[in-house]
Structure 1
Amino acid sequence: MTAACVFCRIVTGRAPADVVREWDDVIAIRPLDPVTPGHVLVIPHTHVPDVGERPLVSARTMACAAELAAELTAANVITSKGAAATQTVAHLHLHVVPRTAGDDLPLPWTPQQHTAG
């Protein structure tokens, strides 16, 4: 655990969070600014900077995210590695983002994100 890490503080109960589900080693919380209704963050208890570190922790966290995604009709399950990939908190976390047809939530690689050159 890292004292300066907000997700470490959340998983140890030293910072508030709206907990959606808990496993022995992973927690799911509602983000402060959800991008769709039902958006959750899935966070391992172990401090792992990103998905490229400690593959077994990443795999376990993904398994928990998959449990949540299985309950949805459509969803994105997303993580980022590094600032250039939009990672803002250096603690592994996966976004489970429920989707509906026509919700207009763009992803960086969707056509609505690109302008004609």
Structure 2
Amino acid sequence: MVAACVFCGIVAGLAPADIVREWEDVIAIRPLNPVTPGHVLVIPHTHVADVGEHPLVSARTMACAAELTSVLPAANVITSKGRAATQTVAHLHLHVVPRTAGDDLPLPWTPQQQPAG
């Protein structure tokens, strides 16, 4: 546990969170500002800074995210590595973002994000 890490505090039960699902080594919570209904964060108990730091922890966290997405008709599973990639908390976390046709959630690679010709 890293004392200044908000996700470590949540995992340790020292900070509040809306818990959606728990596994022995991973937790899923609702984010403070969900981008779609059902958006959750999947967070390993082990403090790992990002997806590249510990491949086995990253793989286990992804397996839990996959379990959550198995019941969704459409979803994005997103993580970031480093500030330049928009990572704001230095503790591995995956966003499971349920999607629906026409939800208009912009992502960098979707057509609505391409510059006008």
**Bin of the TM-score, shorter chain as denominator length:** over 0.9
User: CA shift at 1:114, angstroms?
Assistant: 2.2
Deviations 1:12-55 (A, max 9, x none): 00000000000000000000000000000000000000000110
Can you give the 5+ residue segments of structure 2 that lack an aligned partner in the other structure? none
TM-score (norm 1): 0.98
Letter paired with 2:46? T
Matches within 5 A, 1:59-70: 59-70=59-70
Letter paired with 1:105? L
Task: Give the total of aligned pairs.
Answer: 117
Partner of 2:17: 17
User: CA shift at 1:111, angstroms?
Assistant: 1.6
Deviations 1:51-76 (A, max 9, x none): 00110000000000000000101000
Q: Which structure 1 residue ranges, 4+ long, deviate > 3 Å from structure 2?
A: none
Partner of 2:56: 56
Q: Distance in 2 between matches of 1:83 and 1:114?
A: 22
| C-alpha RMSD of the superposition | 0.7
Letter paired with 2:22? E
Residue 114 of structure 2 is aligned to residue 114 of structure 1: yes
Q: Distance in 2 between matches of 1:47 and 1:24?
A: 15
Fraction of identical pairs, as percent: 86
Q: Distance in 2 between matches of 1:110 and 1:85?
A: 17
User: CA shift at 1:109, angstroms?
Assistant: 1.3
Q: Distance in 2 between matches of 1:71 and 1:5?
A: 31
TM-score (norm 2): 0.98
Can you give the 5+ residue segments of structure 1 that lack an aligned partner in the other structure? none
Q: Distance in 2 between matches of 1:71 and 1:81?
A: 27
Question: Helix, strand or coil: the match of 2:65?
Answer: helix
